Structure 1
Amino acid sequence: MRLTSLMFASMVAGVLSVSTAWAADDTAIRSVRFDGGDGSYKRAIQNGVTFVIAADPPSTFLDNKTNSYDGVDVRIFREIAQRLGISKVTWNIMPFDAMIPTLLSGRADVIVDNLHETETRLHVVAFTSPAYWYGSGIAVQRGNPSKIHSWADFAGHTIGTLRGSINHQLLSQRKDLKELKLYTSNEAEFADLIAGRLDVAMEDDIKISAFLKQHPTAAIQMVTDYRPLPQEYGYARYALRKGDVDLNNAVSRALDEIRADGTLSAIIAQFGYSERNLWYFPVKN
Structure 2
Amino acid sequence: MRLTTSLAAMTLALSGLLAAPARAEDAASSFRFEFSPNFEACAGDSSLANALANGITLGISPSPPYTSLDPATGKAAGLDVEIVEAALDWLGVKKITYEVAPFSSLTPSLLSKRIDMVAANIHVTPDRLKVISFTGPGWWYGPAITVQSGNPAGIHSFDDLKKHKVGAIAGSAADEYLRSMGVEVVPFQTDSDQFLSLAQGRVDVILEDDVKVATYIAENKGTGIEMVSGVQIPEDLIFTYGYGYARYGVRQEDCMLRTAMSQALAEVRGNGKVSAVLHKYGLTGRNLFFFPVSN
TM-score (structure 2 length as normaliser): 0.80
* Deviation sequence 1:139-177 (CA, Å, 0-9, x none): 1111111111111222332210111111101111334x4
Counterpart of 2:69 (choices 57, 62, 66) is 62
User: Are 2:109 and 1:102 equivalent residues in the alignment?
Assistant: yes
Q: 1:201 aligns with which of 199, 202, 206?
A: 206
| Distance (whole Å) between structure 2 residues aligned to residue 235 and residue 125 of structure 1 | 16
The AA in structure 1 aligned to 2:167 is: G
The one-letter code of the counterpart of 1:157 is H
By how many angstroms is 1:238 displaced?
0.7
Deviates more, 1:94-103 or 1:52-61: 52-61
Measured in 2, the distance between the counterparts of 1:69 and 1:192 equals 27
- Are 2:237 and 1:237 equivalent residues in the alignment? no
- Provide the secondary structure at the position in 2 that maps to 1:55: coil
Helix, strand or coil for the counterpart of 1:277? helix
Which one is further off, 215-224 or 199-208?
A: 215-224
1:188 is aligned to 2:193: yes
Kindly tell me: are residues 120 and 155 of structure 1, through their superposed partners in 2, closer, same or farther at Cα, counting changes over 3 Å? Answer: closer
Rounded to whole Å, the distance in 2 between the matches of 1:174 and 1:281 is 23
Q: How does 1:1-285 map to 2 (within 5 A)?
A: 37-175=44-182, 177=183, 179-230=184-235, 231-232=237-238, 233-284=243-294
User: Which residues of structure 1 form unaligned runs of 5+?
Assistant: 1-34
Shift of 1:219: 1.1
Any idea what the Cα deviations from partners look like across 1:65-104, whole Å, max 9, x if unmatched? Answer: 3322211111111212222221111101111111111101
Amino acid at match of 1:83: W
Quick check: which one's helix share is greater? 1
| Structure 1 residue 273 displacement after superposition | 2.3
Structure 2, unaligned runs of 5 or more: 1-41
Mapped partners of 2:163, 2:288: distance in 1: 36
Partner amino acid, structure 2, of 1:200? V
Whose Rg is larger? 1
Change (3 A) 1:280 1:156: closer
Q: Quote the Cα distance in structure 2 between the aligned partners of 1:244 and 1:146.
A: 46
Greater length-normalized contact order (CA 8 Å, ≥ 6 residues apart): 2
Q: Are the aligned partners of 1:137 and 1:228 in contact in 2 as well (CA < 8 Å)? A: no
CA distance in 1, matches of 2:140, 2:198: 26
Range moving further from structure 2, 269-278 or 103-112: 269-278
In the TM superposition, residue 284 of structure 1 has moved relative to its aligned partner by 4.5
Is residue 230–residue 294 contact of structure 2 (8 Å, CA) maintained in 1?
A: no
Aligned AA (1:191): L
Which of structure 1's runs of 4+ aligned residues deviate more than 6 A?
Answer: none
Which SS does the other structure have where 1:91 is aligned? strand
- SS of structure 2 residue aligned to 1:134: coil
Cα RMSD (Å): 1.7
Residue number in structure 2 paired with 1:16: none
Kept in 1: contact 2:231–2:294 (CA 8 A)? no
Q: Secondary structure in 1 aligned to 2:59?
A: strand
1:36 CA displacement? 5.8
1:265 positional shift: 0.5
- CA distance 1:127–1:191, change in 2 (3 Å): same
List per-residue Cα deviations over 1:103-154 (Å, max 9, x = no partner). 0111110111111112321221111111112220021111111111111222
C-alpha distance in 1 between matches for 2:82 and 2:88: 10
State the alpha-carbon separation in 2 of the partners of residues 127 and 62 from structure 1: 24
Contact 1:133 1:278 in 2 (8 A): yes
| CA distance in 2: counterparts of 1:235 and 1:173, whole angstroms | 20
Cα distance change, pair 37–155 in 1 and its aligned pair in 2 (3 A): closer
Q: Secondary structure at the match of 1:234?
A: coil
> Cα 1:158–1:119, aligned 2, differ >3 Å: closer, same or farther?
closer
